[in-house]
């Protein structure tokens, strides 16, 4: 069984409360869940939030929709994923963040297919191998459709050995810095769409993503191709958040 853990919290530094910000009378978290549900290979979804009282609203909303909720450390995301996975006895875990309401279920499935068919420990669409080193990369995908797939034994190894606060907060740095410990794999997008930013870190990002989600029906799955189609029809809207860097997350690593 494959389980997607969606991490979500109210206390975002750059855009507080974004997970529950309204789009068409639904919180942004609704769209993250809706997109993940469209994956052919995800059997279960768990929402992982924090112990902080401000995140009660995330638990209440997710429980109302019928999803299990795990609550853990606010800044130690690695610990949250590990303890959640251990509690539910998970074997294969897909990491999704609530920053990405346009996560593409086909990208999730492509990562999972490679992970399962090639016996990897960790597969993502946000890393690539260059000169024997694994480095963060968009791999031709929009910034905002990040997928990480890993097994529990590798997650446990990272949890036991990660000491750096950056590794505890972001998970992936420990994996890519230790290729001798893990069998790493990646996927690439044949049609380069890396000039598109659909993650939500700033108000302008939210406005941009909201314009896309409002264009399509609320329950419609929005793929990368649909995002590109929308931008072809509305090219001026790409200016909403173009001032923000496409490699902020990668600079952290």
Successive 10-residue mean pLDDT values, the chain, 253 residues: 97 92 97 98 98 98 98 95 98 97 98 94 96 92 97 97 89 92 96 94 96 96 98 89 62 44
Q: How much is the pLDDT for 248?
A: 53
How does pLDDT run across 36-88, given as a tens digit for each residue? 999 999 999 999 999 999 999 999 999 999 999 999 999 899 999 999 999 99
Count of domains in the chain? 1
| Cα-Cα-Cα-Cα dihedral sign, residues 31, 37, 40, 45 | positive
- Alpha-carbon gap, residue 190 to 193, rounded angstroms: 9
Q: How much is the pLDDT for 245?
A: 59
Whether the CB-CB separation of 104 and 223 falls below 8 Å is answered with: yes
Alpha helices in 70-135 (DSSP H): 77-87, 105-118
Closest to 186 in 3D by CA, of 141, 223, 224, 153: 141
Q: How much is the pLDDT for 251?
A: 47
Residue 202 domain boundaries: 2-251
| Residue 64: CATH number of its domain | 3.90.550.10
**CA 57 from chain center: how many Å?**
20
């Amino acid at each position: 069984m494959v389980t997607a853990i969606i991490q979500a919290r109210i206390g975002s530094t750059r855009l507080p409360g974004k997970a529950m910000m309204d789009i068409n009378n639904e919180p942004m978290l609704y769209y993250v869940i809706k997109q993940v549900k469209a994956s052919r290979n995800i059997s279960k979804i768990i929402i992982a939030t924090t112990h902080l009282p401000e995140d009660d609203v995330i638990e209440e909303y997710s429980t109302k929709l019928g999803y299990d909720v795990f609550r853990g450390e606010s800044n130690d995301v690695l610990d949250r994923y590990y303890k959640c996975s251990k509690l539910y006895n998970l074997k294969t875990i897909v990491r999704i963040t609530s920053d990405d309401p346009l996560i593409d279920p086909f990208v999730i499935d492509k990562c999972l297919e490679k992970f399962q068919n090639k016996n990897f420990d960790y597969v993502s669409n946000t890393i690539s191998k260059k000169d024997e080193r694994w480095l963060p990369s968009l791999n031709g995908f929009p910034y905002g459709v990040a997928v990480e797939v890993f097994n529990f034994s590798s997650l446990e190894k990272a949890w036991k050995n990660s000491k750096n606060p950056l590794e505890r907060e972001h998970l992936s740095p420990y994996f890519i810095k230790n290729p001798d410990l893990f069998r790493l794999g990646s996927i690439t997008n044949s049609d380069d769409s890396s000039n598109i930013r659909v993650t939500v870190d700033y108000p302008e990002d939210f406005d941009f993503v909201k314009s896309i989600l409002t264009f399509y029906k609320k329950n419609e799955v929005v793929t990368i191709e649909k995002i590109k189609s929308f931008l072809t029809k509305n090219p001026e809207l790409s200016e909403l958040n173009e001032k923000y860097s496409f490699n902020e997350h990668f600079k952290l690593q």
